[in-house]
A and B are shown apart, each in its own frame.
Chain A
Amino acid sequence: MSSLINSARAGARTRVPRFAEAAVERARLTVVPPRRQLGRTQAARTPFAVLVLVMLAGGVVGLLMFNTNMQQASFKATALQGQVNDLTAREQSLNMELDRLREPQRLASAAKALGMVAPAQPAFIRIGDGRVLGNPTPSSPADAVRINPLPSELPESIKPKTVIAKVPKKLQKTSGTDTPGTSTNVTREGGRKKASTQANSGATR
């Protein structure tokens, strides 16, 4: 293209006076080369469009996969959370069991079952010189401390009572033919019966 301009310039110099040469040079119109000849932009467009499409598709697919992944993670999180809850609950239950086993009351009952009692008098052996400090005394069952409360007393109202009914003298006279002591037998039996029914009702409860 530059050679073309140069040849035109050479032609012009021959016809135009020298002083106007610069102006002519400025005013000269040249034909713009057809767009097609610029072709390089046309050539660059296709890869660009492809690139955009690929990015779009990639984005959509990526987003979809990302979302799916998130969903998967969410399912997993729910499942794991459930597992965490289960395990926490189990740990706590085991800890509670441990607490129960370590409870002084339980240990004391176990020790008592083995026939142990708390020492009545503390005494020590000093490791350094082997001296015995305090009065070591073997403990006896009398030193035992009761670890369970006394059974609570029954309230008066449900204690079994023996009812003593006195037979009026008049009645005794009329039933004089009976063997003496019958009346007491009756009351005693009555009392016993009452006591036994109460004991029964207590047992069923």
Chain B
Amino acid sequence: MSDLRLVWNEFRYQRRSFRRDPQAMFFAIGLPLLYVVIFVSLFGNQALTFVYNGQPGPLKAHTPMLAGFIAIGVVSTTFFNLAVDLVQERESGILKRFRGTPLPTWAFIAGHVGTAVVLGFAVSIALVALGGGAYGIPVPLAGLPAIVLALLVSCAAFSCLAFAFTLAVRKAGAAVPLGTGITLTLYFLSGNFFLVEHPPLVLRILGDTFPIKHLNNALLTPLNPNTHGTRIEWLDLLVIAVWGIGGLILALRFFRWTPTVTRTRAGAKPAAQPLDGPETAIDDVRSAAAVGAAGKQPGRPLESHVLPRNRGTT
């Protein structure tokens, strides 16, 4: 089987798994749609009386809201869902099972990222259709290329960050609360739920540091009917890409396939780590093993008894 077919194989079954998981479908697609219905119904028709994030006006509240909820949809599908899935699959031994096959790491990651990108686009299309169709939010055709570019960059970047996120979570049960806590905090810091003219300086700096606010802006500019030109926010896309590359580097270096609980036995740090990391980890194993061998206790080793069977013959 060619490598491309391997990726397709992964993509096909991962997509199918997602489609059959109603809980994941709700969190990834249902929840952002619900946000649009609630927030745009309540506040969408209010005209903004201030210049929001330097965007040219006049602007109604529903336009930045739609951009913010598309960003939430992208982050939900490509970061939150993917990260939770990966942690749960790792801790239940599913990733370890895959690791024992000839499936290359890159094909596994490509299948996951491909699935996340498709889902990110699907939820974005659903949100734009709902916003435009049900609430009359304008979607300038000239801004579509900039929206597609922002979605491509952000889906890839947040997928890489999802792999990096798994490094910080050691228990399957902690993935959802930790992921929810991080994303919800960043949504508030980035203005996804509330449009504030002058947020406190500290909060503004924090929002500018993380990538979600930049995704909001990269989507808002092409959705704003008052903007012109390519509408591509290159600087925002650069910040998102830098975050994604950082996540990718961490994932390639430290991503684990085996359950975290197997890393320790009897409360001791193992002298030899599981061989599920990158190639350099094997060297670490060897040097750690040498330390372990040097410190070996002579007393009470285990024995092996070998019993070749000889059934009824002499």
Do A and B originate from a single complex?
A: no
On B, residues with C-beta under 8 Å from A are none
